[in-house]
C-alpha cells in the first residue's frame, strides 16, 4: 500500500536529467548582489541587447490588431519563405520554403529532430565538451548519447576518424555537430564539416547541425550543413544573433522526406509555435543593421578578452572563433572549476560557468566566459581577474 502510494509520487527514470550547475553560480551571484556588492556577469549565454526594433514594432502592431490565433504547425508561410530567403542571401542556397519548419526555439527543434530521426535505444554521437541539453534531451527520449572526446589537435571538433572508430565499436544512428560551438566558441571550417558529413552519411549516420550561433562568426564564415547535404537537419534560432532568447522562436531545415513527419509531430506536441513570436521573427530579418552593430560589440569584447586575459593570468584558451564564448583552461590554478568559479565570484566579483557543466571528463579544468555584455564590463572583468590572480 505504502509502495503504491510512493509510486504515485515518483518521477519517471527517464526524466532524471541533471540540472545546469551554472544555476548555482547564478544564485550565488544574486546573493552577493543582494549584499550590495558588484558582480560582472559572464555566466549566462544570452545577449544583453534586446530584439531588433523591427521585431518589437511588428509584435506591438499585431497586439493592437488583436486576435492571436494558432498558425499552421510548420509556421506562418511568409515567415518560412523569409527564412528560405535568408539561406539564399547568407549562404547562396536556393531553399524551398516547404523544407523550413518554425520551432519553439532551437530547443523545440531538437526534440522534433530526435523524435523524427531516431528510435528509442539508438546511439547518437556528440562532441565533448558540448551543450548539455543535447545529451539530456536524447536520454529523456530514450536514446543513448555517446560523447566523443575532442582535443586541440582536432580543433575541438569530432573528426571522421573518431566517428568511425566509435561506430565500429557499436553502431551509431546519429551525430550532432555545432559550429560555432557552445561552450568552446570554436568553429569547423566548411571543408572539415563537409568531410565529416560525408563520412557519417556514407555509414548511414544521420547528421543534425546546430547552427544557433551562425551570424556570430569572427574567424571565418560559418557554412550551413543544408548547403553540404540535403539529407542533414539544420537547426537554428532567433535567440542569439537576433537577441530574441525570451521569444522562444527558432527553425529547422529538413529533408523533403521529413517535412510531413515534423508537421504531424509539432501539430500533436504543440499545435503551433507562439504566433506573436513568429510575427516578430519575420520582421527581425529587417533589423539586421541593428544586429550587425550588436555583433561588432561582441567582436570588440572578444578583442578585449583575447588581449587582456593573458595579461591577467589566464593565458590558455581555445580558439575564440565565434558565438560569444571564451573557454579558458584554468588547470594552472585549480583542478576544480566549480570551486574556482565560486572563489572568483566571491573574491573577484566575476561570474563565469564551470566547465563541468559541459564536460564530465575534463571540465574541471575549464571555465566558460560569455562576452555578450558591454565593453566596459569586459575591461572590468579583466582588471578584477588580474588583481585577484595576482593577490
Ligand X SMILES: Cc1ncc(COP(=O)(O)O)c(C=O)c1O
Asked if 131 is part of the footprint of ligand X (rule: CB under 6 A), the reply reads yes
Least distance between ligand X and beta carbon 237 (Å) = 3
Q: How many CA atoms lie within 13 A of 9 on its CB side?
A: 4
Asked if 128 is part of the footprint of ligand X (rule: CB under 6 A), the reply reads no
Please pick, from the candidates 150, 237, 266, 278, the single residue that binds ligand X as defined by CB under 6 A. Answer: 237
Asked if 73 is part of the footprint of ligand X (rule: CB under 6 A), the reply reads no
Asked if 20 is part of the footprint of ligand X (rule: CB under 6 A), the reply reads no
Binding string, residues 326-365; x marks residues near ligand X by CB under 6 A? ----------------------------------------
SS3 track for the chain:
CHHHHHHHHCCCHHHCCCCCCHHHHHHHHHHHHHCCCCCEECCCCCCCCCCCHHHHHHHHHHHHHCCCCCCCCCCCHHHHHHHHHHHHHHHCCCCCHHHEEEECHHHHHHHHHHHHHCCCCCEEEEEECCCHHHHHHHHHCCCEEEEEECCHHHCCCCCHHHHHHHHHHCCCCEEEEECCCCCCCCCCCHHHHHHHHHHHHHCCCEEEEECCCCCCECCCCCCCHHHCCCCCEEEEECCCCCCCHHHCCEEEECCHHHHHHHHHHHHHHCCCCCHHHHHHHHHHHHHHHHHHHHHHHHHHHHHHHHHHHHHHCCCCECCCCECCEEEEECCCCCCCHHHHHHHHHHHHCEECEEHHHCCCCCHHHEEEEECCCCHHHHHHHHHHHHHHHHC
Asked if 132 is part of the footprint of ligand X (rule: CB under 6 A), the reply reads no
Least distance between ligand X and beta carbon 323 (Å) = 8
Asked if 107 is part of the footprint of ligand X (rule: CB under 6 A), the reply reads yes
Cell of 169: 565499436
Least distance between ligand X and beta carbon 43 (Å) = 12
Residue nearest to ligand X (CB): 105
Q: How many chain residues touch ligand X (CB under 6 A)?
A: 13
Please pick, from the candidates 54, 71, 73, 106, the single residue that binds ligand X as defined by CB under 6 A. Answer: 106
Binding piece for ligand X, criterion CB under 6 A, among 105-113, 189-197, 313-321, 361-369: 105-113
Q: Which is nearer to ligand X, 131 or 366 (CB)?
A: 131
Q: Which is nearer to ligand X, 313 or 360 (CB)?
A: 360
Least distance between ligand X and beta carbon 302 (Å) = 17
Least distance between ligand X and beta carbon 300 (Å) = 21
User: 180 preceded by cis ω (within 30°)?
Assistant: yes
Please pick, from the candidates 132, 250, 322, 373, the single residue that binds ligand X as defined by CB under 6 A. Answer: 250
Q: Which is nearer to ligand X, 106 or 159 (CB)?
A: 106
Asked if 179 is part of the footprint of ligand X (rule: CB under 6 A), the reply reads no
CB-CB contact of 132 with 357 (8 Å): yes
User: Which residues are 144's β-sheet partners?
Assistant: 123
Asked if 211 is part of the footprint of ligand X (rule: CB under 6 A), the reply reads no
User: 307 preceded by cis ω (within 30°)?
Assistant: no
Asked if 182 is part of the footprint of ligand X (rule: CB under 6 A), the reply reads yes
35 to 64, contacts with ligand X by CB under 6 A? Answer: 45
CB-CB contact of 174 with 165 (8 Å): no
Q: Which is nearer to ligand X, 84 or 126 (CB)?
A: 126
Q: Which is nearer to ligand X, 127 or 279 (CB)?
A: 127
Asked if 266 is part of the footprint of ligand X (rule: CB under 6 A), the reply reads no
Asked if 105 is part of the footprint of ligand X (rule: CB under 6 A), the reply reads yes
Least distance between ligand X and beta carbon 390 (Å) = 32
Binding piece for ligand X, criterion CB under 6 A, among 90-98, 154-162, 237-245, 299-307: 237-245
Asked if 178 is part of the footprint of ligand X (rule: CB under 6 A), the reply reads yes
Residue 76 φ then ψ, to 5°? -65, 130
User: Which residues are 322's β-sheet partners?
Assistant: 217
Binding piece for ligand X, criterion CB under 6 A, among 72-80, 100-108, 221-229, 357-365: 100-108
Asked if 210 is part of the footprint of ligand X (rule: CB under 6 A), the reply reads yes
Asked if 239 is part of the footprint of ligand X (rule: CB under 6 A), the reply reads yes
Residue 298 φ then ψ, to 5°? -60, -40
Which parts of this chain interact with ligand X (CB under 6 A)?
Answer: 45, 105-107, 131, 178, 182, 210, 212, 237, 239, 245, 250
Amino acid at each position: 500500500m505504502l509502495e503504491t502510494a510512493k509510486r504515485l509520487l515518483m518521477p519517471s527514470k527517464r526524466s532524471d536529467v541533471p540540472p545546469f550547475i551554472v544555476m548555482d553560480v547564478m544564485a550565488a551571484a544574486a546573493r552577493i548582489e543582494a549584499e550590495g556588492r558588484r558582480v560582472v556577469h559572464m555566466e549566462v549565454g544570452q545577449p544583453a541587447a534586446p530584439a531588433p526594433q523591427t521585431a518589437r514594432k511588428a509584435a506591438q502592431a499585431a497586439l493592437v490588431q488583436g486576435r492571436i490565433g494558432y498558425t499552421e504547425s510548420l509556421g506562418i508561410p511568409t515567415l518560412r519563405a523569409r527564412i528560405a530567403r535568408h539561406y539564399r542571401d547568407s549562404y547562396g542556397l536556393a531553399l524551398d520554403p516547404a523544407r523550413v519548419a518554425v520551432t519553439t526555439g532551437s530547443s523545440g527543434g531538437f526534440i522534433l529532430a530526435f523524435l523524427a530521426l531516431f528510435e528509442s535505444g539508438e546511439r547518437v554521437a556528440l562532441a565533448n565538451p558540448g551543450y548539455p541539453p543535447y545529451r539530456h534531451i536524447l536520454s529523456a527520449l530514450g536514446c543513448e548519447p555517446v560523447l566523443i572526446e575532442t582535443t586541440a589537435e582536432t580543433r575541438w571538433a569530432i573528426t571522421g576518424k573518431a566517428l568511425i572508430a566509435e561506430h565500429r565499436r557499436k553502431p551509431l544512428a546519429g551525430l550532432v555537430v555545432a559550429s560555432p560551438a557552445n561552450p568552446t566558441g570554436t568553429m569547423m571550417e566548411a571543408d572539415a564539416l563537409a568531410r565529416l558529413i560525408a563520412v557519417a552519411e556514407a555509414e548511414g549516420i544521420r547528421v543534425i547541425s546546430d547552427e544557433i550561433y551562425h551570424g556570430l562568426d569572427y574567424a571565418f564564415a560559418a557554412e550551413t550543413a543544408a548547403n553540404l547535404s540535403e539529407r542533414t537537419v539544420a537547426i537554428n534560432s532567433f535567440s542569439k544573433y537576433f537577441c530574441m532568447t525570451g521569444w522562444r522562436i527558432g527553425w529547422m531545415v529538413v529533408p523533403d522526406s521529413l517535412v510531413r513527419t515534423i508537421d504531424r509531430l509539432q501539430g500533436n506536441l504543440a499545435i503551433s509555435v507562439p504566433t506573436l513570436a513568429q510575427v516578430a521573427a519575420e520582421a527581425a530579418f529587417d533589423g539586421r543593421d541593428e544586429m550587425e552593430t550588436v555583433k561588432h560589440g561582441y567582436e570588440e569584447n572578444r578583442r578585449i578578452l583575447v588581449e587582456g586575459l593573458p595579461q591577467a593570468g589566464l593565458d590558455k584558451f581555445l580558439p575564440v572563433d565565434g558565438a560569444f564564448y571564451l573557454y579558458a583552461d584554468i588547470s594552472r590554478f585549480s583542478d576544480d572549476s566549480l570551486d574556482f568559479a565560486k572563489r572568483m565570484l566571491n573574491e573577484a566579483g566575476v561570474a563565469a560557468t564551470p566547465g563541468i557543466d559541459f564536460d564530465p571528463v575534463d571540465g574541471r579544468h575549464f571555465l566558460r566566459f560569455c562576452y555578450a555584455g558591454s565593453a566596459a564590463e569586459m575591461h572590468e572583468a579583466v582588471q578584477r581577474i588580474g588583481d585577484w590572480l595576482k593577490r
